Amino acid sequence: MCGIAGIHAYSPVNQSLYDALTVLQHRGQDAAGIVTEQDGKFFLRKSNGLVRDVFHTRHMTRLKGNTGIGHVRYPTAGSASSAESQPFYVNSPYGIVLAHNGNLTNQQQLVRDLFKADLRHVNTTSDSEVLLNVFAHELQLQGKLQPTEVDIFAAVESLFKRCRGAYAVVAMISGYGMLGIRDPYGIRPLVYGQRTDSRGRTEYMIASESVALDALGFTIIRDVQPGEVVYINAQGELFTKKCGPSLTQTSCIFEYVYFARPDSFIDGSSVYRARVRMGEYLANKIMQEHPEHDIDVVIPIPESSRTSALELANHLGVKFREGFVKNRYIGRTFIMPGQAMRKKSVKQKLNPIGLEFKDKNVLLVDDSIVRGTTCQQIIEMARESGANKVYFASAAPAIRYPNVYGIDMPAKYELIAHDRTDQEVGTAIGADWLVYQDLEDLIKAATPSDEVDGAREFDCSVFNGKYVTGDIDEQYLAALEASRNDSARETKDKEDKSAMIDLHNNA
């Protein structure tokens, strides 16, 4: 799940983009990048690492210009080589840079077509570079010396016909402005807003999450609609057009469970409200399944489960206590590359407060169980701290299927719930009992307050194996599993790093 941002302003945007990426850091910790534009020249800085490590003063001062885009990366395709950090650049037509959140599901086909039919060169194994080249090719086909919004919309219309999967995009065309694109299903989030500068001029921002707009003083206009393009030309005029087919919106429900920050709104639905309701529904289910429960205390597993766990405790009428202290300098473990690193990080990140466990029956609450890395170690810690019984509740249903839309869960056998019943998962993680949220309840929880509960559709593929784009079959999933499972990826990352694919101009 990457984070993207673009700003069109009347004063330098380097610091604002840096701040936006910091606010979006929870969406990607592996690499970061910013491109700005001034007088027809792009200035790029991108590399592996957190935002604070990638940009030093010397880089910031070189990022000149009043328009720019940025990216924080959590790889789901290609490798972890710094050459695959984003934004990507292509020189023709005009000079275009692009940053992408999501994952293309027909990358191989597109690469073949780009090479054989469009005569284009793709230098990395990133799907985002492919996406950029498809856009560039389609824009070139419009054949305009000076493209207008009409040409840009036409190019994206063709891109929608060619590119499958999930893609929320920000891009910049040298001399012609900035645009945001959301795929026809609206799988990944994208929102835009405006603010007024001291001289009364309107500035625009496009970003993955509304928190980035809040932090920079932009007022939200609305979410970019599925299949819509938002274009701000070099003169600062805004144009929007729905260029994709009319499909039912199916945005990713896992954004509400884990990825997004609770203070964000996605498609009119508050992530915080969704998590509160997840806690309420989960409490109801626990009361149904264990009416005579003997829970003494509810303890959240920081960070993401806290909102749900507090509400769950309120509804159960049981004490809520912070039983784990989180090391604030360790990032999110689930989005780290490689199981060894994830495993090590749980212990570095979370430490129990013995007092809250000793001789108590504790209910541990997490937002989700994916590989089981976190809950297994946490349950062990709870027992070592003297807990009597350790129960576990997951605010999301069991994750049994791979994700193909921008969450790095490529191999079903790496998922602890794959091929296991709920009860078997409980045993595998070492809990006395385990309760999972029901999918219908999760859907209800994520439905915006002004809509009928449960009427909104979402991509729930990790829970039900139904892939909304309709192009995913067993063969695709088998190839994905073979190429991106933990050990295959580790080998590829090592190879790419030593091969030094490195074609980008570092500011």
Ligand X SMILES: O=P(O)(O)OC[C@H]1O[C@H](OP(=O)(O)OP(=O)(O)O)[C@H](O)[C@@H]1O
Ligand Y SMILES: NC(=O)CC[C@H](N)C(=O)O
Instruction: Specify the 3-state DSSP secondary structure of 136.
Output: helix
Give the one entry of Mg ion, ligand Y, ligand X, none that residue 2 binds, where binding means its C-beta sits below a cut-off of 5 to 8 angstroms depending on kind.
Answer: ligand Y
Considering only the stretches 14-22, 70-78, 321-329, 359-367, report the one whose residues sit in contact with ligand Y under the rule CB under 6 A: 70-78
Question: Which residues 256-315 are close enough to bind ligand Y by CB under 6 A?
Answer: none
Give the one entry of ligand Y, ligand X, Mg ion, none that residue 258 binds, where binding means its C-beta sits below a cut-off of 5 to 8 angstroms depending on kind.
Answer: ligand X
Rounded to whole angstroms, how far apart are CA atoms 489 and 443? Answer: 33
Give the one entry of ligand X, ligand Y, Mg ion, none that residue 76 binds, where binding means its C-beta sits below a cut-off of 5 to 8 angstroms depending on kind.
Answer: ligand Y
Q: With respect to ligand Y, which residue has the nearer C-beta, 138 or 408?
A: 408
- Secondary structure percentages of the chain, helix, strand, coil, to 5: 35, 25, 40
Q: With respect to ligand X, which residue has the nearer C-beta, 113 or 303?
A: 303
Residue choice 76, 240, 270, 304 for contact with ligand Y (CB under 6 A):
76
Please count the CA atoms within 13 angstroms of the CA of 298 that sit on its side-chain side: 25
Q: Tell me if 412 contacts ligand X by CB under 6 A.
A: no
Count the residues of the shown chain that bind ligand Y, applying the rule CB under 6 A.
Answer: 16
Q: Tell me if 100 contacts ligand Y by CB under 6 A.
A: yes
Question: Which residues 345-374 are close enough to bind ligand X by CB under 6 A?
Answer: 366-374
Q: Tell me if 337 contacts ligand Y by CB under 6 A.
A: no
Q: With respect to ligand Y, which residue has the nearer C-beta, 128 or 447?
A: 128
Residue 335 near residue 364 (C-beta atoms within 8 A): no
CB of 395 to Mg ion, least distance (A): 11
If you search the block for the tokens 């994700």, which residue do you land on? 403
Binding-site residues for Mg(2+), please? 304, 366-367
Q: Tell me if 30 contacts ligand X by CB under 6 A.
A: no
Please count the CA atoms within 13 angstroms of the CA of 371 that sit on its side-chain side: 22
Q: Tell me if 332 contacts ligand X by CB under 6 A.
A: yes
**With 0-12 CB in 10 A as exposed, 13-18 as middle and 19+ as buried, what is 247?**
middle
In one letter, which amino acid is 227?
Answer: G
Strands 31-38 and 433-436: unpaired
Q: Tell me if 394 contacts ligand X by CB under 6 A.
A: no
Q: Tell me if 416 contacts ligand Y by CB under 6 A.
A: no
Q: Tell me if 414 contacts ligand X by CB under 6 A.
A: no
Rounded to whole angstroms, how far apart are CA atoms 459 and 472? Answer: 13
Q: Tell me if 29 contacts ligand X by CB under 6 A.
A: no
Q: With respect to Mg ion, which residue has the nearer C-beta, 249 or 304?
A: 304
Residue choice 7, 20, 77, 501 for contact with ligand Y (CB under 6 A):
77
CB of 53 to ligand Y, least distance (A): 18
What would the x/- binding string for ligand X be over residues 229 to 268, using CB under 6 A? -----------------------------x----------
Q: Tell me if 67 contacts ligand X by CB under 6 A.
A: no
The encoded tokens of residue 155 equal 């190019």
Q: Tell me if 307 contacts ligand X by CB under 6 A.
A: no
Q: Tell me if 126 contacts ligand Y by CB under 6 A.
A: yes
Considering only the stretches 47-55, 96-104, 253-261, 475-483, report the one whose residues sit in contact with ligand Y under the rule CB under 6 A: 96-104
Residue 93 near residue 136 (C-beta atoms within 8 A): yes
Please count the CA atoms within 13 angstroms of the CA of 251 that sit on its side-chain side: 26
Q: Tell me if 380 contacts ligand X by CB under 6 A.
A: no
Give the one entry of ligand X, Mg ion, ligand Y, none that residue 437 binds, where binding means its C-beta sits below a cut-off of 5 to 8 angstroms depending on kind.
Answer: none
Rounded to whole angstroms, how far apart are CA atoms 350 and 153? Answer: 48
Residue choice 160, 192, 204, 334 for contact with ligand X (CB under 6 A):
334
3-state secondary structure 142-190: CCCCCCCHHHHHHHHHHHHHHCCEEEEEEEEECCCEEEEEECCCCCCCC
Residue choice 36, 128, 437, 469 for contact with ligand Y (CB under 6 A):
128
DSSP 8-state class, residue 287: H
Q: Tell me if 182 contacts ligand X by CB under 6 A.
A: no
Q: Tell me if 186 contacts ligand Y by CB under 6 A.
A: no
If you search the block for the tokens 């508050």, which residue do you land on? 270
Q: How open is the CA angle 434-436-440, to the nearest 5 degrees?
A: 160
Residue 242 backbone class (left: φ over 0; alpha: ψ -120 to 50; beta: rest): beta
Q: Tell me if 176 contacts ligand X by CB under 6 A.
A: no
In one letter, which amino acid is 419?
Answer: D
Is 252 among the residues known to form the active site? no
Residue choice 18, 74, 258, 433 for contact with ligand Y (CB under 6 A):
74
The dihedrals phi and psi of 272, each to the nearest 5 degrees, come to -60, -45
Length of the chain: 507
Rounded to whole angstroms, how far apart are CA atoms 378 and 369? Answer: 12
Rounded to whole angstroms, how far apart are CA atoms 478 and 436? Answer: 27
- Using CB under 5 A, list all residues that contact Mg ion: 304
**476 alpha carbon, distance to own chain's centre:** 22
Q: Tell me if 73 contacts ligand Y by CB under 6 A.
A: yes
Q: Point out the catalytic residue in the list 2, 163, 243, 375.
A: 2
Rounded to whole angstroms, how far apart are CA atoms 312 and 286? Answer: 9
If you search the block for the tokens 């407060």, which residue do you land on? 353
- Where are any strands of DSSP class E within 382-485? 389-394, 433-436, 458-459
Binding-site residues, please? 304, 366-367
Q: With respect to Mg ion, which residue has the nearer C-beta, 249 or 308?
A: 308
The footprint of ligand Y (CB under 6 A) covers: 1-2, 73-78, 100-103, 126-128, 406
Write out the catalytic residue numbers.
Answer: 2
